[in-house]
Amino acid sequence: MVHADGQPPAALALGQLRDRRAVTSLIGALRDTHPLVRAMAAHALGQTGDSRAVTPLGDRLRDRDALVRKRARIALDEIRRQSAAPARGGKLVVLRLGGMGDRTRRGAALLPELRRLWVSNIQKSPGLRLADAGIPSGSRVYEVNASITELSQRQSGGMTETTCNISVVLGDGRGSIVMMTSGGATVQVQNRGNLPRSQVVAMQASALESAVATAHSNVIKFLASR
């Protein structure tokens, strides 16, 4: 249900009150058929700062609606800001960026953006630090290697869809693999003809951004459990 003013009842207010008792209901609202309800539920979950919302919000980074994807990204950033990952015992985790690859042979131009997005996500995450900024004594160090595994475009009715998937390998300081994960997203625009190259590139970049955010959320969840 949506009010006449376009906002779902109670969800936004509960988020503003940071009422963690509402988290379960808000997570359910992320699957509502109305995109505005999903977007506002994502916003409210960001306000609660509850880490239980990280995985469901990560799923919404692949939502077909641009507003929902945007609200989910903002909400995840807010949750990371509020939480210093207490499961890590307050110890700083240092991430070193390793190789950034393209298995599709179509995404080479996106590799600088892939690296930039990882840098940005790590810098915004409390409890994480880039190795380039120094490695304090006693810190745990991991290496992130990422590859673009799918970069495709197709027509579906009157819509053009661009899909980007990435794979991520997290290694420890001894060179052993400790985690493998992935992230993906599909971006849609209304279109019945050929898109200009600039718009194709913009859609690829948007899908890549959401794919990285999803994979980064999975890495955060893994690190918080160790």
Q: What is the CATH number of the domain that holds 26?
A: 1.25.10.10
Rg of the chain over Cα atoms, rounded to whole angstroms, equals 18
Q: How far is CA 52 from the centre of its chain?
A: 15
Is residue 129 domain-shared with residue 208, that is, in the same domain? yes
Is residue 130 domain-shared with residue 217, that is, in the same domain? yes
pLDDT of residue 209: 87
CB 44 within 8 Å of CB 25: no
| Structural domain total, the chain | 2
Is residue 100 domain-shared with residue 69, that is, in the same domain? no
pLDDT of residue 4: 34
Helix 197-224 vs helix 66-82: angle between axes, to the nearest 10 degrees? 30
**pTM over cut 0.75:** no
Is residue 193 domain-shared with residue 95, that is, in the same domain? yes
Residue 44 lies in a domain: yes
Residue 72 lies in a domain: yes
Is residue 78 domain-shared with residue 119, that is, in the same domain? no
Task: Supply 162's token pair.
Answer: 């661009």
Is residue 72 domain-shared with residue 107, that is, in the same domain? no
Domain that holds residue 24: 11-82
Is residue 96 domain-shared with residue 189, that is, in the same domain? yes
With a CB cutoff of 8 Å and minimum separation 6, the contacts of 61 are 69, 72, 73, 76, 183, 185, 210, 211, 213, 214, 217
Q: Which residue has the tokens 């999975």?
A: 218
Separation CA 212–CA 98 (nearest Å): 15
pLDDT of residue 82: 64
Nearest to 3 by CA among 74, 13, 69: 13
pLDDT means per 10 residues, the chain with 226 residues, are 40 44 80 88 84 85 91 86 51 90 95 96 85 82 96 86 94 90 85 81 90 87 82
Residue 69 lies in a domain: yes
Is residue 99 domain-shared with residue 182, that is, in the same domain? yes
Nearest to 131 by CA among 92, 100, 103, 158: 92
With a CB cutoff of 8 Å and minimum separation 6, the contacts of 36 are 2, 6, 7, 8, 67
Residue 1 lies in a domain: no
Q: Which residue has the tokens 């131009």?
A: 109
